[in-house]
Amino acid sequence: MWSDTYGYRHYHLAHHRNTQLEDDPDLSLSKPFPVEKKSMLRKVLRDIFGVSGLVQRYELIFKTLLKSDTKKNDGKKISGFESRNTLYGILISNIIIFFTFWILGQWWYFLAFWLLPLFTFFQLFLRIRNIAEHAGVKSKNDFNNARTTYANIIERAFVAPYYVNYHLEHHLFMFVPCYKLKKAHEMILKKHSNEDLEIKSGYVSMLRSVLI
């Protein structure tokens, strides 16, 4: 998805240490909510028509190429050389994928089944997932600063693979593997009621709760 595990790990650990606090690198994703319906519609249209994807990849490519020698990421310094190496890896891997399809006589698969979904609907699904995880939560305590959203089979396929909808449990038990998060959720409910926790019955009801 045009990212690397090393950089994301430091970013994500910072998010876990500072969830919904000023130093949370993901705060900008949830802080604006609740938002008006027309504002949400604009965001959705930007995603579907590829504007969000183009802006993000533009920043990834050109800002990385123009970076100074070092940058701060989770309090650590990462050289511009390392950042550019990550970018080169992304570009090279995509070139390999393209030429693989080209050799097979199906070069357009790269556009139709990779770039187009990546720049459009993937952005929308990612936005919905990010909103569900923290937007409009009740408070900053550990049981209310993240949300679990029950997902049906379609939502699991497109928005919440690998049980990521159990996001509250992921924050409470960070090292529990994804396939155990549902069990963790059941254990929590034995001691806490739904009213004590940030839980929504589905992604539609979740979206309704963050719109004004």
What is the pLDDT, as a whole number, of residue 70? Answer: 46
Report how far residue 115's alpha carbon sits from residue 123's, in angstroms, rounded to the nearest whole number: 11
| Bridge partners for 149 per DSSP | 200
Could you tell me which residues come within 8 angstroms of residue 137 by beta carbon, excluding any fewer than 6 positions away?
Answer: 20, 30, 144, 145, 146, 147, 198
| Bridge partners for 211 per DSSP | 35
The amino acid at residue 183 is K
Dihedral sign of CA atoms 182, 187, 188, 193 in order: positive
pLDDT tens across 151-176, in order?
999 999 999 999 999 999 999 999 99
What is the pLDDT, as a whole number, of residue 63? Answer: 73
- DSSP tag of 71: E
Higher pLDDT pick, 71 / 147: 147
Secondary structure (H, E, C), 146-204: CCEECCCHHHHHHCCHHHCCEHHHHHHCCCCCHHHHHHHHHHHHCCCCHHHCCEECCHH
Cis, bond preceding 25 (omega within 30 deg of 0): no
Could you tell me which residues come within 8 angstroms of residue 81 by beta carbon, excluding any fewer than 6 positions away?
Answer: 69
SS3 assignment, position 79: strand
What is the pLDDT, as a whole number, of residue 183? Answer: 97
Report how far residue 104's alpha carbon sits from residue 46's, in angstroms, rounded to the nearest whole number: 33
For residue 78, pLDDT beyond 70: no
pLDDT tens across 93-116, in order?
999 999 999 999 999 999 999 999
What is the pLDDT, as a whole number, of residue 73? Answer: 47
For residue 47, pLDDT beyond 50: yes
Average confidence score pLDDT of the chain: 89
Higher pLDDT pick, 117 / 143: 117
What is the pLDDT, as a whole number, of residue 93? Answer: 92
Residue 23 pLDDT level (bands cut at 50, 70, 90): very high
